[in-house]
Amino acid sequence: MYSTGKIGLFVNGEFKGSSPVMKPPMQFDTLRLGPQFKDVNFQGIVDEVRLSRVARYTEDFQPDERFEPDDKTVVLYHFDEGTGDIAKDSSGNGHHGKIIGAKWVKLP
């Protein structure tokens, strides 16, 4: 969530915190999901990642099981591929991602 000079993060619909930023962070030179540094591993499961042109939520919410794209969606990863090293961008904007060092698992 980006609003009034802050960027915020929701995980499973729960607000985790925010940080001040100087300008909207919608320049897609490089976007990294998971670890911040190359030698550090992310321990967890990533599913349904959506970045939008608007702040969709300002408080905790019940997330949909599967996000759908709309005209405000910049990038949308369902992570349904199951194999390979490409995360398909389902927004229609072509921001496909490269998966590095991750292992595909089936969710219950």
Q: How far apart are CA 47 and CA 70, in angstroms?
A: 18
Predicted structure pTM score: 0.78
Model confidence over 40-94: pLDDT tens digits? 777 888 889 998 888 888 899 999 899 999 999 999 999 999 999 999 999 999 9
Identify the pLDDT of residue 67: 94
Model confidence over 2-54: pLDDT tens digits? 556 777 888 899 999 888 877 655 555 677 777 666 677 778 888 899 988 88
Domain boundaries, the chain: 44-64+71-108
Q: How far apart are CA 12 and CA 89, in angstroms?
A: 20
